[in-house]
Structure 1
Amino acid sequence: MDRLTDFLFRNGKPVLVAWVLLAVVGGFFALGLEGRAVPGGEASESSQAEAVARELSANGVPSLFVVVTGRAAGDDAAGRAALEPISAAIAGTEGVREVKPLPLPPPDPGSGPIVVLGVSATGGVDGSIDVANKLLNDEEELTAEGSEVFLGGYGAHREELVQLSRSDLLRAEQVGLPIVLVVLLLTFGALWATVVPLVIGLSALVGGLGAAGALAYGIPFSEYVTNAASMVGLALAVDYAMFLVQRVRESLLRGMGVDDSVRHAMRTTGTAIAWSGITVVVAEATMFLVDSRAIRTAGLGMILVTVAAIVAALVGAPIVLRMLGLRVLRKKDRQRLLASGGAVAVDAEVSGFWARWGKRVTDRPGRWLVGATVLMALFCVPALDLADRVDLPSASAMPSDSQVRQATEAAAAAYGPGVISPVEIVVRATADTARTQAERVAQVLSGDPEVRAAAPVPLDRPDVYRVSVATVHSPSDDRTHDLVRSLRDGDLRGQLDGVVYEVGGETAMRIDATDALFASLPLMLAVLLGLVLLLLVVAMRSIVLPIKAVLLVVVSLGASTGGLLLLSTTEVGAALIGWSDPADLHPIVPITIVAIVIALSTDYEVILISRIAELFRGSGDNTGSIIDGVARTGRVISSAAAIMIAVFFGFALSDVTPLKQLGVGLAFAVLIDATVVRGVLVPASMQLMGRWNWWFPSSPTPRPAPPAERRPEVVSGRASSSDDLV
């Protein structure tokens, strides 16, 4: 790290200019990222639902529907004349193969005039999403005087989620950034010290998203990438810069010169940031284990902004801090330092509250450890039901003015909830037997109580038939899910022994997307924890501390997930956070929370433990090092956590269910990690383990120093002497 610092000092201006130019170029590419993002991609490309979607798309089967009510839905010459330009406009949209009225049963007499047009698109699910994008962005194609026109279908649902997430990102930034500014001002009390983390954070965000924007020309990035990467990148970069600013201020107050203060901060906190960043990148890289384009590209986007955050903190921040010098201090501290001509005896960067708190916990570590463990265990209990509380959101979870929601509700009121989005079965046989096999499937399903109607329909190829199954309940209903699973692996599969078929449609797509994301969670978790353990062993030169850290990560993850389930899936929890209705977790949420929570939890662990280890190496006093380490990092970690919570809270206000759940889940995770875990579990467990914290094979375990050599304890935020361990 010293070599890097020396290089930056020798080449500060060229590096700074290059940094600014990269930020400008990154901003250019970042602006186009949203337009190149590709919605969907949760399910595996090899899933049954995707295979059925491609087959039906190739045969012109509608994948979207348009609901028309009012004048243009009238069964007379005037109605047909009003409907014609709507149909023509939709048919003229690029990617649309055919537009025609769906063959539906008579609507409910109380529903009023209604016509449902089926829209077939080329290119499978992605093709229908692309068509939905064009139709939703060109409102003139879906308007008619005296009529209401709404676009529905799975592809339209996915596209509306993308459009909502873009507006929510802007709102999240408008909410989060002012709070970040206030927290930084309260923490540092100096304008320039506040500006540095903001500049580092924004430059890292622009650089990381710019890299993703450039790669998006060749890689189909998920629509989640902008939001997920923005959450992680901004929070991490601001935190890293905060830690460096705080360490430089400490050294300046002890009389170090500006260059030496920056060099010492890089040697200590900079090294911790590097290890923390590597751990975060490793955590995010495990998202590639999930067989889902959406998850893999979201993970790639988060890796890019994390790398940008590390580079900005370790390359940009030292140069800026050297340029600012004493201006990063509070005015009164700067004046006292200049007046004294040397060190300021009182350490303004040590938190008296956290010093007293650390002493309180280490005085009775057993009680605190048991109490905090019980509290965390209570939050972990709901996480045991996670597998039953994961599902893609339905159209009813969209805002009330959503076209997809209005189209779905109007069609369901007129024809029933399972008619517009049927279960689609593709039967494959020889040209001579395909029709017979399809009729057998329809006959078996017609006797099922969950099926309203099942009809075989020929496709363009004589060896492939389609059986369209109108269900009694909606595509998101658990009973429809059970029907699809029975067709694939249950009783219905047994009754259709010998028939070769694949099950698709909206319900099947929901199941396949959920399975693809959730099934990879155990493998991802096991690999991630193993890699984190290895990294921490190398970084900490200890065996016990990394094992303890991994155990605490698991506890933190369980409590975070359980807390999110309580807040998201229960009536009381939803009311507490201002949501109108409870909702199951979107399958992308557990995957993302696992990666990010483990990364952030390890981040705080490395920052705190590295400071305690640094103090212990100089004194051999385990208790004093724990108290002093908590005191010296408590304020900045609390502020960093507050900043992360502010950033995540902005996303919790989203109208998009997965973004809303991610915001709440991550904010809750950071809250308990920075308070219960870092404030209680870490110091209490380290106090109980004593010198075994530092045991490492082939290295002697330091023993406590004699009382006369120990560093004075910090019990009120002030050391009893002005010396410090560096």
Structure 2
Amino acid sequence: MEQAVTQRLATACARHPWRTVGVWGIVFILGLAANVLVLGSALTPEGGLTTQTEATRGLDLVNDRFPNRDAASEYVVVVADRGSVDDPAVRKTVAGLREDIAGAEAVRGVGDPYAKGAVGLRSRTGDAVLVPVVMDDLDEADAAGTDPLAGIATIVDAVHAADSRADVSAYVTGSWTVGNDFIEVSQRDLQRGELQYGMPAALVVLLLVFGAVVAALVPLAIAVVSIVVALGIAAGVGQVYDLSFFIINMTFAMGLALGIDYSLFVVSRYREGRWAGLAKLDAIAASGGTASKAVLFSGSAFVVALLGMLLVPDIVLRSLAFGAVLVGIVTVASALTLLPAILSLLGDRIERLRLPFLPQQHGGESRFWTRTVGFVTRRPAWTAGLTTALLVLLALPVLTLATGSAGLSSLPADRTGHRGFVALETYFPSGARSNPAVVVVDADSSRADVGAAAQRLRDLVADDSAFGVSTVSTAPGGDLTLVEIALTGDPAGPEAGAAIERLRDDYVPSAFDGVDAPVHVTGTTAYDLDYTTVIAHWLPIVITFVLSLSFLLLLLIFRSIVLPLKAVLLNLLSVGAAYGVLVLVFQEGIGADVLGLQQIDRVEPWVPVFLFSVLFALSMDYHVFLLTRIRERYLATGDTVDAVIHGVGATGRIITGAALIIVVVFFGFATGDTVGFQQMGLGVGVALLIDATVIRTVLVPSSMVLLGHWNWYLPSWLEWLPHLDVESGTGDLAAAGVPSAVGPGRGGRGRAAARGRRPR
């Protein structure tokens, strides 16, 4: 029988191990050099939509017609702890603070609350002053080569220094300050999940699965190599395309998961061959013809599932998808080539440094998982029905899922931007604001109807408690009018979002009724609202795209229309259950206090897309691996029940161990301080836990037993599909001379069904 491509590749690499390792060593060094030298400059902290919305159209007009507009983005609040802000000591502190801020990078102007004619920069009680700070926006920073985040660091240090004085308290908030807080907290949360939880959990689980230190270190080595090489490639791509710095975290998390997954598959199959009496190269060839081919198709399913996130017009989500796809491809390549070479070099030394308190495994099946699935297959109808009912019940709260920005409430209360916002609200409740709502009127500012409409708008919003003071300004060319309206609450909170909706739907149409001029509502809050709308629009498109591609790929791999359809439905069930858990915990607050999570009335808009894509990618990965083992056995015996018990028993420990590692990583994210990462961590963690245990242990076995040979049904009109033949070739252990634990059974009937002919 002709050998599979993966088997020939594994054999070639095993026969020339040093040459293979040398090539990968060069690639690793190049990737490491790219990481050190250019990765930092290749990535951007910026995010945002890549498509036009009302907010972005309005912002483009402002940037075009107001090229040097000095709008404050940061506000420093200085409070006199004793006496008045007119005390000489306080005035001296404010003057020194203004001087320090003026010297910070990307700062273009610093307001003076003591200047003659300054309006709204002193609190009504006379115990606080407001210092507006004008900084370069993104376009201006790019043009000038400045770094606003470096400038913010200087400003924050200056404010903290002033705050340490005995006579005043000082605070700062604004778009750059809050953005910097989000970056710092997000990076800390991600590193906590990856380093504090992920790597230790990976080592512990690998030691428990393999029972030997050397065998446990091999998957980690594959993961590290794949991560470094993938990030090296990303460093090159980032020189041409915008990639978010979050790609590092995604690449690490997915590289760790896949590197361990695929190594577990291949190494476990290699050890089975050695325990069965195969020579070293024969065992590598056997794993190459079975596990390596499963890795190839599992990796393909993983990549396909994440392609959908590339469709979303958002820099961060596309960067996350690109990083995951990239590390997925590199990990498959390393598992198919580098891993066989390492196994060839190690040989039986892979069993070195065994843990004495763990029993040595000499077979491929786990007793625990074999007994568990045996119970399920003896009662397939009621175990499937009960489990499905419970998961549907858990998924029902998804009907009330609400998405939107959590705002400043998602930041810890001790962060600089949060504390500054509280101070701003306390001392200047309706004064100047960072990130106001901006109504842009694209018309000749001298027109009487434009001026009258702008005044009508100001009168309308004056009666709405969500809005503060409003101002009108005209572009230097007289061809653009701005009505800037302060928001009295958190500009990123749900109340501000509702205010923008009223502004767009009610106030602007009413005020500008009959005025022949394009009017746009922009500003940070309007942009956040548009972002939520765009992501919500793309979510069903992503889901449809991923489900369709995944169905087609599984159809080609298994030559069955039943297995792909069932895989899609089961994955949707686990995703739905995860969405339901998010609603129960975060929106309803059930168990939030016990888990140490923050209750909020909405889910961050990017979380559902991310959760679906990542969960579907990883679950398809596990699903393909499990089904290939079941199909392999079914081809040999034709007995569905025996094939299911063998498949789950042989893969249960591996799939559960691999899933447990990534579950711990994401649960580590859930211990973070930002609500978005809490939602992401809990959602993905719960979903994968359900998928690797309930779905793989109960629903997959029970449904396959109930369907019997119909699992492999392929209509005659689809017979033209190519035969990818997942587990054929001399790499099969049975074909290599390892006797089956069960007799041939109804082998002929099994082969006929598994190859796509209708069972009779």
Q: 1:225 corresponds to which letter in structure 2?
A: I
The DSSP-based 3-state class of the residue aligned with 1:572 is: coil
**Relative to structure 1, is the Cα distance of residues 245 and 519 closer, same or farther in structure 2, using a 3 angstrom cutoff?**
same
Sort the Cα spacing of 1:540 and 1:524 in 2 relative to 1 into closer, same or farther, 3 A.
Answer: same
Instruction: Pick from 78, 86, 107 the counterpart of residue 75 of structure 1.
Output: 86
Paired AA for residue 17 in structure 2? G
1:65 corresponds, among 56, 71, 74, to: 74
Q: 5 Å matches for 1:452-463?
A: 452-463=468-479
Query: Does residue 558 in structure 1 map to residue 576 in structure 2?
Result: yes
SS of 1:58 mapped into structure 2: coil
Partner of 1:675: 693
Q: What SS does the corresponding residue of 1:50 show, helix, strand or coil?
A: helix
- How far residue 419 of structure 1 moved from its aligned partner, in angstroms, is 4.9
Structure 2 residue 33 is the aligned partner of structure 1 residue 19: no
Q: Secondary structure at the match of 2:476?
A: coil
Kindly indicate whether the alpha-carbon contact (under 8 Å) linking 1:53 and 1:124 is maintained by their aligned counterparts in 2. no
Separation in 1, partners of 2:396, 2:41 = 41
Q: What amino acid is the match of 1:530?
A: S
Uncovered stretches (5+) of structure 2, i.e. residues with no partner: 1-5, 721-738, 752-760
Of residues 355, 358, 361, the one that matches 2:370 is: 355
SS of aligned partner of 2:433: strand
After superposition, give the CA deviation of every residue in 1:223-278 in whole Å (9 maximum; x if it has no partner). Answer: 32222222222111111111111111111111111111111112111111111111
Aligned to 1:428: 442
Assess, with a 3 A threshold, how the Cα gap between structure 1 residues 121 and 150 changes in structure 2: closer, same or farther: farther
Q: Secondary structure at the match of 1:251?
A: helix
Q: How do 1:626-637 and structure 2 match up within 5 A?
A: 626-637=644-655
Pairing 1:496–2:512 present: yes
Deviations 1:182-218 (A, max 9, x none): 1111111111110111111111112212222232233
Alpha-carbon distance change, 643 to 451 in structure 1, aligned in 2, over 3 angstroms:
closer
Aligned to 1:159: 180
CA distance in 2, matches of 1:333, 1:60: 68
- Distance verdict in 2 for CA 1:358–1:281, change over 3 Å: same
Q: Which moved more, 1:206-215 or 1:141-150?
A: 141-150
> Is 1:596 matched up with 2:614?
yes
SS in 2 for 1:520: helix
Cα deviation for residue 94 of structure 1 reads 3.6
Paired amino acid for 2:56: E
Cα separation, 2, equivalents of 1:519 and 1:489: 19
User: What is the DSSP-based 3-state SS (H/G/I as helix, E as strand, rest coil) of the residue aligned with 2:304?
Assistant: helix
1:135 to 148, 152, 171: 152
For the residues of structure 1 that align with 2:126 and 2:644, how far apart are their CA atoms?
70
Matched residue pairs, number?
697
Matches within 5 A, 1:293-692: 293-329=315-351, 347-386=362-401, 388=402, 390-416=403-429, 419-421=432-434, 422-433=436-447, 434-490=450-506, 492-497=508-513, 498=515, 499-582=517-600, 584-692=602-710
Do 2:173 and 2:420's aligned partners in 1 also have CA atoms closer than 8 Å? yes
Q: Is the 8 A contact 2:102 2:110 kept in 1?
A: yes
Residue 403 of structure 1 aligns to which amino acid in structure 2?
A: T
Task: Return the alpha-carbon distance in structure 2 between the equivalents of residues 560 and 417 of structure 1.
Answer: 41
Aligned-partner SS, 2:325: helix
Please give the alpha-carbon distance, in whole angstroms, between the structure 2 residues aligned to 1:720 and 1:667: 36
1:414-435 Cα distance to aligned partner (Å, 9 max, x none): 1227852421212221142254
Q: Among 267, 270, 276, which residue is 2:289 paired with?
A: 267
RMSD (Å) for aligned C-alpha atoms: 3.1
**What secondary structure is seen at the aligned counterpart in 2 of 1:392?**
coil
Quick check: 2:100–2:155 contact (8 Å CA) kept in 1?
no
**Which residue of 28, 47, 60 corresponds with 1:41?**
47
Tell me which moved more, 456-465 or 529-538: 456-465
* CA displacement, residues 501-554 of structure 1 (integer Å, 9 cap, x when unaligned): 211223212212212222210111101100000000011121111111111111
Query: Conserved in 2, the CA contact under 8 Å of 1:564 and 1:664?
Result: yes
**Residue number in structure 1 paired with 2:723:** none
How many Å separate the matches in 1 of 2:139 and 2:170?
24
Cα distance in 1 between the residues matched to 2:465 and 2:76: 28
Determine the C-alpha separation between the residues in 1 that align with 2:322 and 2:278: 41
For 2:54, the aligned partner's letter is Q
- 2:699 partner amino acid: L
How far apart in 1 are the matches of 2:228 and 2:77? 43
Query: Does structure 2 retain, via aligned residues, the 8 Å contact 1:111–1:413?
Result: no
Q: Select 2:101's aligned residue among 65, 90, 93.
A: 90
Measure how far apart 1:137 and its partner are: 5.7
Following superposition, the deviation at residue 623 of structure 1 comes to 0.9
| Counterpart mapping for 1:241-280 below 5 A | 241-280=263-302
Could you state the TM-score of these two structures normalised by the residue count of structure 2? Answer: 0.85
Give the % identical residues. Answer: 31
Letter in 2 for 1:15: T
Letter of the 1:464 partner, please give it: L
Structure 1 position 332, deviation (Å):
8.5
Residues 325 and 492 (structure 1), Cα distance of their counterparts in 2 relative to 1, 3 Å cut: same
Q: Distance in 2 between matches of 1:531 and 1:182?
A: 35
Does the Cα contact within 8 Å between 1:42 and 1:295 map onto a contact in 2?
A: no
Alpha-carbon distance in 2 for matches of 1:269, 1:323: 19
Looking at structure 2, the residues matched to 178 and 584 of structure 1 have their Cα atoms a distance apart, in angstroms, of 33
Task: Measure, in 1, the Cα distance between the counterparts of 2:610 and 2:308.
Answer: 10
2: distance between equivalents of 1:170 and 1:480? 32
Give a deviation string over 1:153-192, Cα, whole Å, max 9, x none.
2233222222223333332212221121111111111111
Structure 1 CA distance for aligned equivalents of residues 39 and 599 of structure 2? 32
Change (3 A) 1:675 1:622: same
Say which SS state the counterpart of residue 179 (structure 1) adopts.
helix
CA shift, 1:100, in A, is 1.9
One-letter amino acid of the structure 2 residue matched with residue 223 of structure 1: F
| Aligned-partner Cα distance in 2 for 1:348–1:328 | 16
SS at match of 2:337: helix
Change (3 A) 1:149 1:461: farther
My pick for the range that moved more, 688-697 or 605-614, is: 688-697
Residue type of the alignment partner of 1:229: T
Whole-Å Cα distance in 2 between the matches of residues 111 and 368 of structure 1?
71
- Is 1:169 the equivalent of 2:180? no
CA pair 557-266 structure 1, distance change in 2 beyond 3 A: same
* Structure 2 counterpart SS, 1:249: helix
Residue 212 to residue 418, structure 1, CA distance change in 2 (3 Å): farther
Letter in 2 for 1:295: L
The one-letter code matched in structure 2 to 1:13 is W
What is the rounded CA distance, in whole Å, between the counterparts of 2:631 and 2:293 in structure 1? 13
